[in-house]
Structure 1
């Protein structure tokens, strides 16, 4: 990552003489500092210009804004300037991989980056976040892996225009963000715009939506892994004669690792080394993290959709509890499902009954999600913590409701990371 010099920009700007090079860019003034410049973007509630002085006080080397302030890089429109800069830096990289999907895109991103020894996007995948990433890393020799998530019509077109991926990948298609996208068919159409890249790949589950596009996965695919084995210890499979072992992983991780090997193969990267790097991948918190102990906790609380719920329940079913233990599902509300939300929750709850020995539901659709239903998280915890015992395997999963108040999160049964924390404390007592 090279210095970002405000005096050598690819666009016209009025640069204050005291503006200094930076290592990073941010659109969040709270992250501004001596090495991190601030971009003042328009927001839904307020303009970033309101925070320019706070960024300067924090020592930001420069601020991209239309204001006349110290260390300013003055432009008519900071957003347009940011995106123009991002496109210039992206053009300097020989291999940019874009990944989208209703389920598994973050996991796929992490495994692909490990296989290719690439730079990759952090958790945020908004347009401004991706633009900052491209500016910071575009000129380096290593490939880039960019997660491209959408929740509205037209957003993928904007992302493709910005990222211009050389390889476009769709991991899966399912019911997600339907309040804005409307139907699963719309989800497929919008996400499918990424496949206009010069090379395209789709996961097994998504392949029926994109006939003719090369697919990866197990069994019958254009790029197929062999001898997949899934159990409580993790996942194992073979690709092109290379044995892959992924500790405490499920099928979603195995498919992501297979994608990593396919990308490595076509990029000329040695497969054995790629497999070894992927064996050490740590997924971010809340994304199918198996936490072994007196009883096993599966923390999959980062987010949820029907497709990811089914995948998590399938993974729970692969676990064989210790003597006397049970498989337990703890499920909360899935957000942004539109008019079909009740029936979709009921479908998940019915499947939970097949995969788990005990199923708990919490929040608005608690009765649909579990045989033991609770209105709020505190009520759920009172029952769950007295029930769980040594040898159990407990899956915890729901949407985040990240912008909600703690009280609303608890009432709606979203943001079940607090349940994981409570289970970890309970486990210490056994």
Structure 2
């Protein structure tokens, strides 16, 4: 519960009709009688333009500098939101921050399950994290925060807000190179999550792939790491291994999910959570759509279409190669890779050709990504639906959404979720 009637960590004039809310949002379309509105400045317009609409929708209160009904009136809503978040975060018994070039959302989901924690939804901007901390900081349960960055200095800002007790880096690879500049820049910027803040110690953990970049930091995964799972077996049915003698089974999972489970069990062990209980919760983890979600049937579709970077695509292709049947990769453009993007796409395409029996590419760099190249998704779909047959296993992966160049010109991702939906409809006879 978010209660503006309690003492606030900033100067505010609270309207007498303001009342507690269940949640906060800066998107006026999400406002309801249980969801309050924060009027934040945006790139093109200020949230104050939507205060009246939020009040009309029944907002319990609005955080704004305007003199309106149910206002929590402050000079600067953005500064007030962050101050409020810092105060509530301090009430949490344990905060885990997760970053990395790939695998953040998967790691976050598994850690939250093992710790029985609250965790950030997919949208992980600074305002979203602040609202999350305000809503749940005093819940008495651990919090897991995904901390993605795409510009220099952003991790320092996030760490100053979140103050994680545990900092995790899942992997390091070329991602957001247009802003971060180089692998060295990525290592440096993401590494901020591992450092103490104002003398507050941080437990630092890095995935096996990232360990080479952070000498001396405790690592997790399989093989030569500090916290290791043992006897890993990966099949089309899922992954299984043992951790500290406890058997773990993850249905329809691959190595990436198993590594996230080792991280989760490591943190559960350190927090005093009984490992059999944590392992049982891990077996039921369901990651959001588009993140290695397996749809079995007369042919199998692996939906990994939410986002893509070279390290993430290679990991997905590794998983694909372990399946029986004809293996088909369907790959689209990876965004924000900077001046070496053609070379990076060609490298991923070459990797695909060694891990899949048939490779499709679509959009920019389609020829680099696949033997069968298509300029648009409709053209790809026509060919793909004509080609697929029973027993095939199809991996679908690309960047979706929008990337901004330094000149602020928008570039669209491919949006291969459309392909996933079409394949599932065709497979199940819904067309």
Q: TM-score, normalised by structure 2?
A: 0.95
State the shift of 1:412 in Å.
6.9
State the shift of 1:184 in Å.
1.1
Q: Counterparts of 1:315-326 in structure 2 under 5 Å?
A: 315-321=319-325, 326=326
Alpha-carbon separation, structure 2, partners of 1:45 and 1:294? 48
Q: Counterparts of 1:161-180 in structure 2 under 5 Å?
A: 161-180=160-179
SS in 1 for 2:3: coil
Once the two structures are superposed, residues 92-143 of structure 1 have per-residue CA deviations (whole angstroms, 9 ceiling, x without a partner) of 1121110100000110000000000001101111100000000000012111
Alpha-carbon separation, structure 1, partners of 2:37 and 2:7? 17
State the shift of 1:278 in Å.
0.4
SS in 2 for 1:17: coil
SS in 1 for 2:340: helix
* Partner in structure 2 of residue 340 of structure 1: 340
* Partner in structure 1 of residue 12 of structure 2: 13
Q: Counterparts of 1:11-410 in structure 2 under 5 Å?
A: 11-197=10-196, 198-321=202-325, 326-402=326-402
User: CA 1:28–1:357 in structure 2 vs 1: closer, same or farther (change >3 Å)?
Assistant: same
SS in 2 for 1:384: helix
SS in 2 for 1:221: coil
Alpha-carbon separation, structure 1, partners of 2:133 and 2:16? 25
Alpha-carbon separation, structure 2, partners of 1:378 and 1:412? 16
Q: State whether residues 62 and 72 of structure 2, in contact with CA within 8 Å, keep that contact through their aligned partners in structure 1.
A: yes
Alpha-carbon separation, structure 1, partners of 2:340 and 2:184? 14
Once the two structures are superposed, residues 211-265 of structure 1 have per-residue CA deviations (whole angstroms, 9 ceiling, x without a partner) of 0000001010010111111111111111100010000001110011010000000
SS in 2 for 1:237: strand
Alpha-carbon separation, structure 2, partners of 1:101 and 1:137? 24
Q: State whether residues 64 and 75 of structure 1, in contact with CA within 8 Å, keep that contact through their aligned partners in structure 2.
A: yes
Once the two structures are superposed, residues 15-35 of structure 1 have per-residue CA deviations (whole angstroms, 9 ceiling, x without a partner) of 111111111111111111101
Q: State whether residues 7 and 15 of structure 1, in contact with CA within 8 Å, keep that contact through their aligned partners in structure 2.
A: no
SS in 2 for 1:98: strand
Q: State whether residues 221 and 229 of structure 2, in contact with CA within 8 Å, keep that contact through their aligned partners in structure 1.
A: yes
SS in 2 for 1:129: helix
Q: State whether residues 402 and 415 of structure 1, in contact with CA within 8 Å, keep that contact through their aligned partners in structure 2.
A: no
The number of equivalent residue pairs is 419
* Partner in structure 2 of residue 415 of structure 1: 415
Superposed CA RMSD: 1.3
Alpha-carbon separation, structure 1, partners of 2:147 and 2:319? 25
State the shift of 1:390 in Å.
0.3
State the shift of 1:3 in Å.
4.1
State the shift of 1:429 in Å.
3.4
Alpha-carbon separation, structure 2, partners of 1:403 and 1:369? 19
SS in 2 for 1:56: helix
Alpha-carbon separation, structure 2, partners of 1:116 and 1:172? 21
Q: State whether residues 377 and 413 of structure 1, in contact with CA within 8 Å, keep that contact through their aligned partners in structure 2.
A: no
State the shift of 1:51 in Å.
0.7
Q: State whether residues 398 and 415 of structure 1, in contact with CA within 8 Å, keep that contact through their aligned partners in structure 2.
A: yes
Q: State whether residues 362 and 413 of structure 1, in contact with CA within 8 Å, keep that contact through their aligned partners in structure 2.
A: no
Once the two structures are superposed, residues 21-61 of structure 1 have per-residue CA deviations (whole angstroms, 9 ceiling, x without a partner) of 11111111111110111000011111111111111010001
Write out the 4+ residue segments of structure 1 that deviate beyond 4 Å after TM superposition: none
Alpha-carbon separation, structure 2, partners of 1:73 and 1:154? 30
Alpha-carbon separation, structure 2, partners of 1:367 and 1:358? 13
Q: State whether residues 335 and 401 of structure 1, in contact with CA within 8 Å, keep that contact through their aligned partners in structure 2.
A: no
Q: Which ranges in structure 1 are unaligned for 5 or more consecutive residues? A: 405-410
SS in 2 for 1:285: coil
Alpha-carbon separation, structure 1, partners of 2:413 and 2:188? 31
